[in-house]
Structure 1
Amino acid sequence: MIVVEGYLNKIIFHNSENNYYILSVFLHSYHSELNGDYISIVGTFHDIEFLKDELYSFKGEIVTHKKFGQQINAISAERLINKDVNSIIDYLSSDTFPGIGKKTAQLIVEKLGLNCLDIIYKNKDKLTSIKGVPSTKKELIYNNIVSNKQSQDIILKLNELGFSNKLINKIYNYYKSDTLNIINNSPYDLVKTISGVGFLTIDRIAENIGVEFNNPERIKKALIYCINEQLFSTGDTYIYEQELLYKTFNLLYKSRPIAIEKEDILLAFEDIINSQELIKIDNKIFLPSIYQAEYYIYNNVKKRISLSEKDEKINGEVLDNYIKEIETELNILYDPDQVEAIKNSINNRFSILTGGPGTGKTTIILAIIKIFQKINNYSYTDLFDEEKNIICLCAPTGKAAKRMSESTGFYASTIHKAIGWNAEIDDINEFTSDKIIKSKLVIIDETSMIDVYLMQNLLKIIDIDSKIILLGDTEQLPSVSPGNVLKDLVSSKIIPTSSLNKIFRQASNSSIIKLSHAIKNGNPIDILGNFQDREFHISDKVNLVETTLNIYKNLLSITNADKIQILIPMYKSIFGIDKFNTLIQQTFNHNTEQIEYGNCIYKIDDRVMQLENRAEDNIFNGDVGNIDSIFTEDGKQKVVINYDNNYITYEKKDLDQITLAYACSIHKSQGSEFDYVIIPLSDNYNFMYNKNLIYTAITRAKHKLFFSGNPQVFYNAINPSNIIERNSHLSNFFLDDSSGKIENTEHILTKDNLHIIDPMIGMKDVSLFDNINKD
């Protein structure tokens, strides 16, 4: 390792994404190991400004590049301040200290001398003796001196600990000057706060700083990590106790191959239950936030149902007359099931309407809105009056909200916008809204996509006297995050529910809709038959990509890329989403204006998807747009993306929020419809596909559906045994209530008994750990 000082000659290269630099430096002093007066410095440097002719110190290793010769691969860089009055004044009045001018800088140097920076760093109170410097500026000066001093030490330490440059950026930006304190005292906190930091990474660091393998805090953090990984990867709302302990043991052993005594894990588990960091119900283990969310949903719905039972009902004959009026207005005829669904929704404060495509949910909603208007003597224009706030329509995604608006003629928003979720809070489970939805009628579409956190927040802010109607298709995929809300509410048996199964005349000619209902009902299917709106292109694995691209190419001759969507269940592999996106861009987007970010290239007209919620811009995870322009402003590259005429500007550093979207996952497509859908079927997907997944993919197609690949993959997916059930507890609350197990529902969530009293239920049998050791 060598330390050199030198004056910056020029910046040869700078990657603004990771702050990687190649610098040309004129050496300040002679080094026998170095050749000549100039040396190239390469490395990643954060929170430092490189200015021509300024003096810097670099620490690193001498390396020899095949092409460029001798270089220093530096792990740290520090700007050295020349110890003369003018240079210190210039430094203090530079952009590093915004708001400090020459006059203020001169006052500081005159009072504290040439070593003023070190003096202030060691004792900020020295600034108080300088008259003429405002207190706000004193704090700013001190903070900047400390920040610039500490950042180099922090980043060097993170580098030594083995973090990647990307993670170093994330960690330092989150913790700033407190970074090393967290690393040294609470390293496992990074697993929760920094995305991309896993337990294994942090445990290695914890081991290096002396955390023993059987440290109780290590075991507790492993328990918390394992339950989070399980619930947020499967969508379950709990994990069985034995499974959690098994996973924790394996994780700890994988990280450090030293067998932990079973008593150590049991003691940590007991402590974590007693401290209410986890909740235990029989042999089920919950995260408190998920347990509370499910309980809140149950309690809120139960209260609404109870109040609804006391409401005066609209006479059946009166409703029949209203329905006949609506049939005349809309020139349709409702069948008995639809009539019953309309009455069910009108006469209850809380109701559910389920049904697959083509079953007439939209026409029923129109009838409900119109009858609701007539019953309450509202004018039609009243329904559009924001101040009167009569109806509220919302859905989990922007696409679903737009479809809802188009089909009803009324404004619909995302649920996130309806509840006032802002961009300052990443996780919905940490969000508390100060809004109240006082609309008389609230209709929520695509309810199968709603997780327990989102439903909890929604019910919290909907006025108790509002009429709520949930729409959804129980055959579709459940939410990405934990919960099985729609199915659990339907199975509760206490909520008025209407299920539509009949395909109506307008949809009866659609083989896509018939196919979806055949999958739902388990009827025989001839997937190879070619129809006006459905084709199957058989292909082996070798030709699957080419076959799929040919379908895409043919579609581009009759429509544009916005109308076409390729749906795939996985991202990686040669048949994955990432591969198809790259191939389609390279093959069909010939624009030369582009921007590179990491391993991705984005071009004008590229179809892209937003991966994070940006509530302040009214765009959310899953929204799809097109790159409108790429330009440079104030030295920064920027990209403008058009989301249905909502133009959003991104700086280059924000491009990790988007991805190419010619192909996307089936989960991401939920809530959307596309004119043309292509579903490649490869043996590589066999372990990914199930009945709900293939059903959801098929029902995204409006006009035409294309399959490519192996038909057996389709048949494997729709096999009745290939259904993955989620572990959720919401329906149990209703079941326990009906059987009298919940006597005092308000008492169950008090601080003292949020968790189960005896955390060692079922733990007397040590065969659990005998089984672990056998594996």
Structure 2
Amino acid sequence: MAGPSKRSWNSLTVLSGFIVPKGELANTPDVADDSGSDDDEDGDMQWLDMNEIDDANAGVSVAAPKRLCNQLVHVRDKFGRVHRVKGRFPLQDPWWDLSVECRKSGGNMYLTTGYPEYRLNKNPSKDLILLFLKKYDVHPQHIEAFHNALQREPSLQEQPLNFENLCDIVEQYGKLNETTEAVSKQMLSLINFTGREESQALLAPTWLRFGPKLLPKRFYGLLLSKEERLKVLDTVTAQEPWKLGFGPIMYWEHRFIGCEATLDAFKHCNLLERFPPAEKDAIYIYDFIKSKCRREGHTFVYEKALHRRTFGDHNIVDRVKALQFLVDNKITVQLEGKVSLKRYYDYENNIKGGIGELLEKDKISKWMIDSDDLQGVFGEDEDQKRAAEFICKNPVTVMSGKGGCGKTYVVSKVFKVAHRQILEEEAAAEREEERCLNETDSLSRLEDMENSQEDQEGAGGEGIPEGSQATVSRSGKYEKEDSIGAILLTAPTGKAAHLLGKRTGLKAFTLHQVIWSYRNRKGDGWKFGDVRALVVDESSLVSVQTFSTLFGILLKHSCLQKLVLLGDVEQLPSIEPGNFLTDMYHSLAPIGWSIKLRTNHRSESKLIVDNATLISQQRLPEFDQERHFHEVRVDREDMLSSVVTRLLQNGRANDHKTSQFVAFRRKDCNIINEVCCKHYSQHCIKNAKNRSWFQVGDKVCCTKNANISLYVDPSVTPQPEKEEEKDKEEGKEKGQKSKKSGNDVRLCNGEIFFVVEDTTHISEKGKSRRWLTLDDLERQIKVDYHEVKSKGGLKHAWARTIHTYQGSESDTVLYVVGTPTRHQNWQHVYTAVTRGKKEVYVVTSPGALSTSVQTLPIFRNTHLRNFLVNVKISSYSVWFLC
């Protein structure tokens, strides 16, 4: 391998060598920086739709992502020089030869600019082979005996000792005598079952080389795929690498889910030169469509924009042929001068089809909730009365309104009545069924008395024995108890779901919890199988992909009859492509299935609501200290720290349990969190090793959904049945998690906690384990520190970005507008101020607020509204005009 070499064209250094094992070098502490870690976003469930979930359950390969952290390692080149390198390395053992592009960062430190290429060392030393055996738990005495045999036995020296021949040499070693035979079997077992990385690498050298760059998060999982699947992947990488740039082709042709490399990844691998002309043109156009949709929220782009688009490093040879290639391979859909990514077209089209199916169900078997019990419940609020009537009568209702207008109050009252009516109907049905069974039993007894003895013997064994009937009945009852019932309350984030459940008094779930449950269901029964009504709160946060997946699952596998969407159409839409709530609201308004609640029922937030209305009209808000809407001037960007310090010292955010800083930029959040951490907890947010530092008194939040181990008192005997039930609820295999930790808890993205205790427990074996006790003001949980930090993405939470805090609320909100930018518009300011229930502070420079309020959001090009406006309803007859 070559040592560091300069590339003059971009001032990069290509560093080649291998990673020095930990502990080999003196005074080299292990340093990991969690600030730049990849986010696996709750595993693979964030990007699987219903069809892909079904295929994954049927055995199709899923490229599950793996979280990678920035780490400081030591790389030794062929000249023996050791270099400190900071980057992400999926494989770190010294028998992996690597090559990675770096930039010099002072002294002998290098910072990687991407991911490494790997090759398995073809000529390892004996010491390296022995180190390999040690890693995979071969007994030290067996390693020493094997090493001695290698030196003295000629039969073991016939083949060169390397990873390719290692198993053969170990087998040959086993033939020496009876003792070595037993040792050989044990060694082979450990090598084959725990040393899979190396054996798999021998099967797929091309994937080993390019995989870390092409699909860095999914490289390792794919490396450990089944042998035949890995060979397919290696063949594609070697012979047709362009296919890896198109996920739909990998899905339809080779049955891989989630395998799609970016254009930049191919550039870093220098693989574009292997692309045929049409495929090379296509990947440039495809990359442009993806980036534009992701950046601006579109689900389609206009074809004329693609014909005008030029690329600095590539001249399109045949634009028409490239576009046709994308259509032919089910990557895009072209319709009336619009080019859509097929997956987004399908999501929106499936939502339209699902609404049609719901209406057809309503036409055949209408579910009318009796509204007589709601008389007088909503006082003089006519909007609430109409909204309740809509939910009672219509299969679909979209309700929009600002915080405090009573959206969840209406839902709570209507579905409490519906729940009571459902229980009455079920009780009546059970009584009728029991009456029919009694009549049948009486008739059977009369027939038995009339039948002859011979007839009775002839009929014996054909019916279900009495004991069996009782078992079936008990089984049916058990399944019913497992069901969550007919009404399913959901929200896109854990915090929003928690608030919805708290306000309604019913159990609420995140959308992804329901999807997880579907993926991991066992047998024919499913806990959400009895659902008749779906309520989705904070629908502006919901993406078309997530809703399409959930909606499709419930239509197919439950008894869904009603859909209720709650939210605020003025708020920010999902950061993912699409404009779900706005499209649903405006397309269904002409037929009277959408309603806006206009009356504010929070007297303390009247000015907040009035100012939110002004902001939505692109007008500046009215500041009034007596009515708790304040302006805090900051003249320069570098003064933010001092302004926040002054606010804290003056008691403006004295209680961090009821107040929340919100900012547009993550950079501003970091500054605020640093100031707040020193004010509330008297320490910095990071320690000397640049790792996040959490102590008692900190305000923290989870940024990922995860199952985290709970502390179990060793003196208390665990209850396996309850643990298994919890695992089942969270979508895990029965007992899988409980075997590992004894108990676990599901923490959701967006949940805010306060650290109230930090303890370390020593096990009987002498192993220490750190536990944090977290308090969300309603419960306290004691969780594994390392798990909640890595799997749950634990972060300090005195300041949150507006996108991550949307769906939550506090008594006092302090919004930092920040430097004016075209990316921040009136919807960001509107969403931020409506997070406050009682008091709002707007921290802004003189022109920043005005610029943001007067900036229009980018109009999102979507199909959903056009799909839905073609729904015509007349006397509950439905036609879809394609």
Q: TM-score range with shorter-chain normalisation?
A: 0.7 to 0.9
> Kindly tell me: are residues 5 and 333 of structure 1, through their superposed partners in 2, closer, same or farther at Cα, counting changes over 3 Å?
closer
- 1:194 shift after superposition: 9.7
Q: Is contact 2:396-2:593 (8 Å) kept? A: no
> Kindly tell me: are residues 643 and 217 of structure 1, through their superposed partners in 2, closer, same or farther at Cα, counting changes over 3 Å?
farther
AA aligned to 1:726 is: R
The more displaced of 124-133 and 448-457 is: 124-133
CA distance in 2, matches of 1:480, 1:452: 11
2:274 maps to 211
CA distance in 1, matches of 2:30, 2:402: 50
Q: Is contact 1:595-1:630 (8 Å) kept? A: no
2:191 maps to 141
Match of 1:270 among 315, 324, 339: 324
AA aligned to 1:703 is: K
Match of 1:642 among 774, 780, 784: 774
2:356 maps to 302
Q: What secondary structure, in the 3-state scheme, does the structure 2 residue paired with 1:333 have?
A: coil
1:241-390 to structure 2, matched below 5 A, reads 241-247=303-309, 249-250=310-311, 253=312, 256=313, 258-261=314-317, 263=318, 265-311=319-365, 319=371, 321-324=372-375, 327=377, 333-376=379-422, 378=424, 387=483, 389-390=485-486
Match of 1:479 among 555, 574, 580: 574
Report Cα offsets for 1:412-460 as digits up to 9, x if no partner: 1211112326999xxxxxxxx9774422333221111111111112212
CA distance in 2, matches of 1:190, 1:99: 45
- 1:531 shift after superposition: 3.0
> Kindly tell me: are residues 184 and 101 of structure 1, through their superposed partners in 2, closer, same or farther at Cα, counting changes over 3 Å?
farther
1:428 maps to none
- 1:372 shift after superposition: 1.5
Q: What secondary structure, in the 3-state scheme, does the structure 2 residue paired with 1:121 have?
A: coil
> Kindly tell me: are residues 294 and 583 of structure 1, through their superposed partners in 2, closer, same or farther at Cα, counting changes over 3 Å?
same
- 1:368 shift after superposition: 0.3
CA distance in 1, matches of 2:814, 2:861: 32
Q: Structure 1 residue 452 and structure 2 residue 544: aligned?
A: yes
Structure 1 unmatched ranges of 5 or more: 26-30, 425-432, 749-775
1:674-713 to structure 2, matched below 5 A, reads 674-682=810-818, 684-710=819-845, 712-713=847-848
Match of 1:12 among 6, 27, 47: 27
CA distance in 1, matches of 2:775, 2:575: 23
Match of 2:292 among 226, 230, 247: 230
> Kindly tell me: are residues 603 and 6 of structure 1, through their superposed partners in 2, closer, same or farther at Cα, counting changes over 3 Å?
closer
> Kindly tell me: are residues 163 and 527 of structure 1, through their superposed partners in 2, closer, same or farther at Cα, counting changes over 3 Å?
farther
Q: Structure 1 residue 516 and structure 2 residue 612: aligned?
A: yes
Report Cα offsets for 1:490-540 as digits up to 9, x if no partner: 2223765242343245437632122223434x3965523323322112332
Q: What secondary structure, in the 3-state scheme, does the structure 2 residue paired with 1:611 have?
A: coil
Report Cα offsets for 1:312-365 as digits up to 9, x if no partner: 5759xx73x4223x63xxxx6143322221111111222222222232223312
Q: Is contact 1:13-1:21 (8 Å) kept? A: no
CA distance in 2, matches of 1:491, 1:59: 54
Q: Is contact 2:396-2:562 (8 Å) kept? A: yes
Report Cα offsets for 1:589-647 as digits up to 9, x if no partner: 32479656767555554434433333665234433344564869999996747373455
Q: Is contact 1:443-1:470 (8 Å) kept? A: yes
1:624 maps to 752
- 1:303 shift after superposition: 1.8
Q: Is contact 1:48-1:78 (8 Å) kept? A: no
Match of 2:664 among 569, 592, 595: 569
Q: Is contact 2:641-2:675 (8 Å) kept? A: no
Q: Percent identity?
A: 18
AA aligned to 1:206 is: N
AA aligned to 1:230 is: K
CA distance in 2, matches of 1:581, 1:437: 44
Question: Normalised by the size of structure 1, how large is the TM-score?
Answer: 0.73
Match of 1:102 among 142, 146, 149: 142
Q: Structure 1 residue 202 and structure 2 residue 330: aligned?
A: no
> Kindly tell me: are residues 658 and 727 of structure 1, through their superposed partners in 2, closer, same or farther at Cα, counting changes over 3 Å?
farther
Q: What secondary structure, in the 3-state scheme, does the structure 1 residue paired with 2:611 have?
A: helix
1:485-524 to structure 2, matched below 5 A, reads 485-493=580-588, 496-507=592-603, 510-520=606-616, 522=617
CA distance in 2, matches of 1:624, 1:607: 7
Q: Is contact 2:358-2:561 (8 Å) kept? A: no
1:759 maps to none
CA distance in 1, matches of 2:851, 2:108: 57
Q: Is contact 1:681-1:711 (8 Å) kept? A: no
- 1:581 shift after superposition: 3.0
CA distance in 2, matches of 1:697, 1:4: 49
Q: Is contact 1:12-1:23 (8 Å) kept? A: no
CA distance in 2, matches of 1:221, 1:723: 29
Q: What secondary structure, in the 3-state scheme, does the structure 1 residue paired with 2:566 have?
A: strand
CA distance in 2, matches of 1:275, 1:667: 35
> Kindly tell me: are residues 442 and 157 of structure 1, through their superposed partners in 2, closer, same or farther at Cα, counting changes over 3 Å?
closer
CA distance in 2, matches of 1:670, 1:125: 60
RMSD: 5.3
- 1:266 shift after superposition: 2.5
Query: How many residues get paired?
Result: 685
Report Cα offsets for 1:651-680 as digits up to 9, x if no partner: 489379344332222111111011221112
CA distance in 2, matches of 1:643, 1:99: 46
1:28 maps to none
Report Cα offsets for 1:537-563 as digits up to 9, x if no partner: 23322544422332234347731x343
2:672 maps to 580
Q: Is contact 2:680-2:697 (8 Å) kept? A: no
1:113 maps to 156
Q: What secondary structure, in the 3-state scheme, does the structure 2 residue paired with 1:337 have?
A: helix
Q: Structure 1 residue 536 and structure 2 residue 536: aligned?
A: no
AA aligned to 1:678 is: L
Q: What secondary structure, in the 3-state scheme, does the structure 2 residue paired with 1:372 have?
A: helix
2:710 maps to none
> Kindly tell me: are residues 437 and 112 of structure 1, through their superposed partners in 2, closer, same or farther at Cα, counting changes over 3 Å?
farther
The more displaced of 690-699 and 221-230 is: 221-230
- 1:396 shift after superposition: 0.8
- 1:298 shift after superposition: 0.5
- 1:279 shift after superposition: 1.1
- 1:745 shift after superposition: 7.0
> Kindly tell me: are residues 237 and 649 of structure 1, through their superposed partners in 2, closer, same or farther at Cα, counting changes over 3 Å?
farther
The more displaced of 74-83 and 114-123 is: 74-83
CA distance in 1, matches of 2:105, 2:848: 51
Q: Is contact 1:670-1:696 (8 Å) kept? A: yes
Q: What secondary structure, in the 3-state scheme, does the structure 1 residue paired with 2:613 have?
A: helix
1:725 maps to 859
> Kindly tell me: are residues 116 and 509 of structure 1, through their superposed partners in 2, closer, same or farther at Cα, counting changes over 3 Å?
same
> Kindly tell me: are residues 21 and 291 of structure 1, through their superposed partners in 2, closer, same or farther at Cα, counting changes over 3 Å?
closer
CA distance in 1, matches of 2:259, 2:774: 28
Q: What secondary structure, in the 3-state scheme, does the structure 1 residue paired with 2:563 have?
A: strand
> Kindly tell me: are residues 143 and 555 of structure 1, through their superposed partners in 2, closer, same or farther at Cα, counting changes over 3 Å?
same
Report Cα offsets for 1:698-747 as digits up to 9, x if no partner: 1101221101223543344334x72432111011112345499xx9979x
AA aligned to 2:345 is: Y
> Kindly tell me: are residues 196 and 489 of structure 1, through their superposed partners in 2, closer, same or farther at Cα, counting changes over 3 Å?
closer
Q: What secondary structure, in the 3-state scheme, does the structure 2 residue paired with 1:471 have?
A: strand
AA aligned to 1:478 is: P
> Kindly tell me: are residues 59 and 609 of structure 1, through their superposed partners in 2, closer, same or farther at Cα, counting changes over 3 Å?
closer
- 1:579 shift after superposition: 3.3
> Kindly tell me: are residues 220 and 657 of structure 1, through their superposed partners in 2, closer, same or farther at Cα, counting changes over 3 Å?
farther
Q: Is contact 2:833-2:840 (8 Å) kept? A: yes
> Kindly tell me: are residues 366 and 275 of structure 1, through their superposed partners in 2, closer, same or farther at Cα, counting changes over 3 Å?
closer
> Kindly tell me: are residues 217 and 518 of structure 1, through their superposed partners in 2, closer, same or farther at Cα, counting changes over 3 Å?
same
Q: Is contact 1:120-1:142 (8 Å) kept? A: no
